[in-house]
Each structure stands twice: as structure tokens, then as C-alpha cells.
A = this chain, B = another copy of it.
Amino acid sequence: MNLKELSQSLGLSQTTVSRALNGYPEVSPATRARVQEAAKTFNYHPSNRAKGLATGKALAIGHVIPVSDKHEMVNPVFGDFIAGAGETYARHGYEMILSIVDDSDEEKVYTSLKSRRAVDGVVVHGPRMNDPRIPLLNDLGLPFAVHGRASGCTLPYTWLDVNNRHAFLRATDFLYDLGHRRIALINGAEFMDFAYRRRDGYEAALQAHDICVDPALMRSDEMTEDFGYQSTTDLLGQNDAPSAIMCSSLISALGARRAIEEAGLVMGKDVSVITHDDDLSYLQNGGDIPIFTATRSSVRYAGRRLAEMLLAAIADPLQPPQNELLEAELMVGRSTGPAPRKE
């Protein structure tokens, strides 16, 4: 069923039917009701494609998901983020189109999305420091919103981020207050902006307490379970081992716990752990009492919200870029305790 058929079956012109359906005022309430009724019974849905051609809008938002060439790794937060964004799009009648793309030719994809007029805007995932995609999208004139920020990019753009620096600063402080002085950091790959900021917060907290930052206590890579395990095993094995560990992801923290237990130690007693927790639906941080003390921020909420910000920017291209900085909650769980006294 298309517009033509629908309008013929109603004995009206396509114009009138189109207007009735799209809420234009120049059609009588009676006619509008009749049209809507018919659309429902015939199960008529306008073709997005044709609509897009006619209006110049694509009614679609692109998400370009970079897959690291190194491990072919898909960021595990991605599913929840997308789910959040999807809710927003559904509510506004937008489609979400996804491109899975090798790190290396991500830029081509943006150019192509733009020139094919396939989307009205894009969401940028996993921003890095000085991320070249931001000036690129700016030049292309394709509306975009960034999940995170890119240190070093001066031009204004729409973003939503967790206050990673502050979260890790607070968490490190919290460990300090518990008496910990040797605090390790198991971080994401530090060309990623979020990881850079977390380290910055961690270092700032240490320096504020006159603890010198020890590179031997810092690790940084893609945040897999195994990376958490290896790093922790390694850290605990060295002399003057840390009594506490800051960890950038719950998945790596699970690996850290594995290493701690395998070393015959008890987490929360011999070694304290704080992790960042993205509040993923399938990876809840324990039940009533969190397993891990954590800095928590829902990535799903972030998806929902960032999508709204992007749609708003598209609807009103003149408004200045919006920004939103979310504070992570610091949830106390069972993985932290007072620093053990040295024997």
C-alpha cells in the first residue's frame, strides 16, 4: 500500500492525505480522522526512502563503530549504549544505521555517509586525544555528537561524557583515606581520551597527597579480562607490591580478582580494588551489595541522552553545541578495605 493507492481508495488527492497524516493544519478534522482511520486499517506506512528523497532529510542517524585492528575487539559497552540510543530514535521516528569499520578507514565512512546523504547525523564512538574525526565532521558539515570528549580539540562540538578525571580522583582519594599508599592503575589504552583523563585524575590525587607517581604501578591496554589478570599477577609479583588497584573496567576487574585469589590473597582485605562500572545490563556489579567498590555511570543512559542531544542539534542547526558532563557515583562495595599493616 502506498500513498497513491491509499488516496485513491479514499477518493482524496495525495496532497490531502499526506497533509492529514503529517499533521498539517489545512485539512478538516473530519477528513483527517477518516484518513488516519484508513491508514490504520490498510496498515499504511510511508516509505522512509521516498520521504527522505522528498524532504532531503534521511531520518536516520549513523553510528560508526570502530573495531580495533589489533584485537578485532568490539567495545563491550557498545551494546548497552546502542540500546539506549535506540530507544530515543524509536521515539522520534529515526532509524539507526550502523557501520562496523576498521579503525583505519573510519574517515572514509563518514565522508561516504555524508555524500550519499544516508544520515542526518552521526554519533562518534571512542574518541581519542586530538581525534581527527572531529575536525573532519566539522568540515563536512555533518551534524555529530561525541560519546566522550577529545582532549586537544579546541573547536566546540556536542558531547556527553562522564567526568572521568573527577571519578578517578575521588576513588583514589578514597583509597588514600583507607590508608593505601601503593596504588596501582590498570587503565584502558591511553590514546583513548577517557583513559587519559582517568589517569590524570589518579595522578592528581596521588600528587595532592605527595605520593609520587610510579610508572611501575601503571598498566594500560585494551580492557579484557585477561589484561586485568595478567597485569594484576604482574603487579602483585613485584616487590613493594601495591595494596590497592584502580581498574578501568569491570571486566578487567574480574580478571584482577582472579589474579588476587590465585595469589592466595583476599580482595578487600589484602588487596583493595576499585573499578569503573558502566552499569551494563548483563554484567551487574553484584546484587544488593556491590562486589566491587566502583565509580558508576550508566552507559545506557548516556546513549539515550546523547541521541537526544544530537536530534536536538539536527532540529535546530543554529543552536550552539550542547555539552553534558555526568558525575559518576562512588559506590562502596566489598572489594575495598583498610590498607593492611606492613609486617
Contacts and interface: CB of A to CB of B under 8 A. Distances in A.
A207 interface: no
Interface stretch (A211-219, A220-228, A308-316, A319-327): A220-228
A308 to B, nearest CB: 15
A103 interface: no
Nearest to A89: B100
A79 interface: yes
A325 to B, nearest CB: 25
Nearest to A252: B282
Count copies of this chain in the complex. Answer: 2
Interface stretch (A16-24, A70-78, A145-153, A174-182): A70-78
A182 to B, nearest CB: 25
Contacts of A95: 97, 99, 118
Contacts of A254: 225, 254
B283 A48 contact: no
Contacts of A281: 71-74
A52 interface: yes
A48 B118 CA distance: 7
Contacts of A48: 116, 118
Contacts of A257: 258
A342 interface: no
B226 A287 contact: yes
B97 A224 contact: no
A278 to B, nearest CB: 12
Nearest to A109: B90
| Size bracket, chain A contacts | 35 or more
Contact of A282 (B116, B223, B230): B223
A86 B99 contact: yes
A96 interface: yes
A261 B226 CA distance: 19
A100 B111 contact: no
Interface in A20-52: 43-50, 52
Nearest to A283: B225
Nearest to A118: B48
A88 to B, nearest CB: 10
A251 interface: yes
A49 B53 contact: yes
A12 interface: no
A87 B69 CA distance: 13
28 contacts: A1-B115, A43-B111, A43-B115, A47-B53, A48-B116, A49-B116, A60-B97, A72-B281, A73-B282, A74-B281, A75-B79, A76-B280, A79-B79, A83-B100, A86-B100, A86-B101, A87-B100, A95-B118, A222-B282, A223-B282, A224-B284, A225-B254, A225-B284, A225-B286, A226-B287, A230-B287, A258-B291, A261-B261
Given A74-B282, A75-B79, A83-B100, 17 more contacts: A45-B112, A45-B115, A49-B49, A49-B53, A53-B53, A72-B83, A74-B281, A75-B282, A82-B98, A82-B100, A85-B100, A96-B100, A97-B98, A225-B282, A226-B287, A229-B286, A258-B291
